[in-house]
């Protein structure tokens, strides 16, 4: 977990909530945009690219007019991938970009090496340098361009995945051939491990990483990002909206602007790529290009989000004195997080076994006397997760 563990981060966050967290982010430079307003730009690591803090993740957009509207609004960086909409996403962008000077647009695309085991992020013999480059050539054709600015190894989720030799060789070959200016990886699973592996390669220029206010391990990601930035790697933030809703019923939408500002508070994050699909979302998001200050009101909304959806027990131990059964509640909450947050049943069960939690641990208590600082429904969570004890090991995947 490194020197910056989750517990310390949460404590320091709570202490500093009134001041440090709403500090203005570092701004590297500004660029005029036609009007009087100034677009905030940052430098993407050693690439030297100056990018507005807001860019566009085109993944789900299928209306070329939305892309042109984004360009008219000052967005210059567009993220797509070989696999998005089975290539139609790149084709749509190619049709739009062909009418614009190539050097005014920054294009990032991503290729996922073939023959990949999605569950283990391991590659079979079919994941060759040649097949990777063949897919990339297809992307260039769809995009109607001779080169992209950034080519990424798509969805790396482990150290072994990042270090996959044929893929690294393919990326380097594409760069050497002038078909991409910079190379990198994208990740939204095991991000710290992937980021550190990317540093280890010594050849990665850019990392596009999931980074949002709801991630339980956001402090670890932030720490890894800082290390990457120190190594000169440019960081692009994605999945900043954390799924777009605060609740499972999808009745409480995330304040998108606040979520983007939260990610961009990290000065190492050069730009974010929200995947807006409506003009309304574009108009709202565009406001952060000139104003990154996270207001107290916005901060409260994000903190509220953390409290409402948080599965992470901060280990304050306030609950312990209240439990008549003397249960190891922080550890049971951790087990709950493994099961319900990460879907890691075996890990959840192991944690229960380690702390010798018995079947139906609340048996005999008619009313729960535990008080949780984060407001977790402790009795319900204990009851739900402890049912794992009754499931035979063979049935747990």
Partner 1 sequence: MFRRILLFDIEKFIMKKPVFISIFLGLIFTINCIASGDEVSFPKLKGWRLDVSSKVYTPDNLWDLINGAAESYVSYDFVDLHLADYKNKAGTTIHAELYRHSSTENAFGIYSSERSAEYSFIPVGIQGYLDEGVLNFFTGQFYVKLYSTDSGEDVQESLKLIAEALSGHIGHNNEWPGLLAAFPPEGKLENMDHYTRENFIGFNFLHSAFTAEYEGGYKLFIISGKDRNEMLDMVRAYLKFTKQDIDPEQESSFTITDKYNGDIPVVLIGTYMAGIIEGADSEEAKKKLNQLVENLGK
d(CA 175, CA 216): 35
Q: Among 24-32, 62-70, 264-272, 306-314, which window interacts with partner 1 (CB under 8 A)? A: 62-70
Rule CB under 8 A: is residue 62 a binding residue for partner 1? yes
Among 34, 251, 392, 393, binds partner 1 (CB under 8 A): 392
Rule CB under 8 A: is residue 98 a binding residue for partner 1? no
Cβ distance to partner 1 smaller for residue 187 or 223:
187
Question: Beta strand 234-238 with 206-210: parallel, antiparallel or unpaired?
Answer: parallel
Distance set, CA 348 to CA 316, 326, 334, 345, 381 (Å): 20, 20, 8, 5, 12
Cβ distance to partner 1 smaller for residue 100 or 279:
279
Rule CB under 8 A: is residue 352 a binding residue for partner 1? no
| Min separation Cβ 39 and partner 1, Å | 21
| Min separation Cβ 37 and partner 1, Å | 20
Please provide the size of the chain in residues.
397
Q: Which residues contact 15 (CB under 8 A, 6 or more apart)?
A: none
Name the one residue in this structure whose structure tokens are 């983007």: 260
Rule CB under 8 A: is residue 388 a binding residue for partner 1? yes
Among 2, 18, 124, 232, binds partner 1 (CB under 8 A): 124
d(CA 24, CA 266): 10
Residue 30: how many other CB atoms lie within 10 Å: 14
Are 216 and 242 spatial neighbours (Cβ–Cβ below 8 Å)? no
| Min separation Cβ 77 and partner 1, Å | 17
Among 232, 253, 343, 377, binds partner 1 (CB under 8 A): 343
User: Which residues between 271 and 310 bind partner 1 (CB under 8 A)?
Assistant: 275, 277-280
d(CA 28, CA 53): 11
Rule CB under 8 A: is residue 384 a binding residue for partner 1? yes
Please list the alpha-helical segments (H only) found in 177-278.
191-201, 218-230, 256-264
d(CA 180, CA 288): 29
The footprint of partner 1 (CB under 8 A) covers 59-60, 62-63, 65-66, 69, 83-88, 91, 114-115, 117-119, 124, 126, 155, 188-189, 239, 248, 275, 277-280, 339-340, 343, 345, 384, 387-388, 390-392, 394-397
């Amino acid at each position: 977990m490194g020197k910056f563990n989750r517990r310390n981060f949460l404590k320091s966050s709570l202490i500093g909530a009134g001041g440090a967290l709403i500090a203005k982010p570092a701004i590297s430079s500004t660029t005029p945009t036609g009007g009087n307003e100034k677009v905030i730009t940052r430098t993407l690591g050693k690439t030297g690219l100056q990018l507005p803090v807001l860019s566009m993740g085109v993944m789900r957009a299928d209306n070329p007019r939305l892309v042109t509207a984004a360009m008219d609004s000052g967005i210059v960086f567009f993220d797509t991938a070989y696999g998005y909409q089975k290539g139609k996403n790149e084709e749509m962008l190619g049709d739009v970009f062909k009418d614009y000077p190539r050097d005014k647009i920054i294009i990032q695309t991503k290729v996922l090496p073939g023959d990949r085991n999605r569950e283990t992020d391991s590659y079979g013999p079919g994941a060759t340098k040649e097949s990777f480059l063949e897919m990339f050539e297809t992307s260039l054709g769809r995009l109607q361009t001779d080169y992209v600015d950034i080519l990424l190894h798509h969805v790396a989720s482990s150290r072994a995945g990042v270090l996959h030799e044929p893929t690294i060789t393919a990326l380097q070959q594409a760069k050497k051939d002038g078909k991409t200016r910079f190379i990198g990886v994208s990740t939204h699973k095991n991000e710290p491990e992937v980021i550190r592996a990317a540093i280890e390669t010594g050849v990665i220029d850019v990392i596009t990483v999931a980074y949002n206010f709801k991630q339980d391990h956001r402090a670890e990601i932030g720490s890894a990002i800082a290390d990457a930035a120190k190594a000169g790697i440019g960081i692009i933030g994605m999945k900043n909206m954390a799924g777009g809703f605060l609740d499972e019923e999808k009745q409480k939408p995330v304040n998108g602007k606040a979520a983007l500002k939260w990610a961009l508070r990290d000065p190492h994050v050069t730009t974010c790529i929200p995947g807006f699909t409506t003009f309304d979302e574009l108009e709202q998001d565009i406001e952060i290009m000139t104003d990154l200050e996270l207001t107290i009101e916005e901060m409260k909304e994000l903190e509220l989000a953390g409290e409402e959806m948080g599965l992470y027990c901060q280990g304050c131990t306030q609950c312990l004195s209240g439990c008549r059964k003397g249960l190891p509640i922080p550890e049971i909450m951790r087990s709950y997080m493994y099961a319900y947050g990460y879907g890691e049943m075996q890990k959840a069960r192991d944690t229960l076994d380690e702390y010798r939690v018995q079947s139906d641990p609340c048996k005999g208590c008619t009313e729960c006397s535990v008080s949780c600082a984060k407001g977790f429904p402790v009795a319900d969570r204990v009851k739900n997760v402890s049912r794992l004890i009754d499931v035979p090991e063979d049935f747990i995947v």
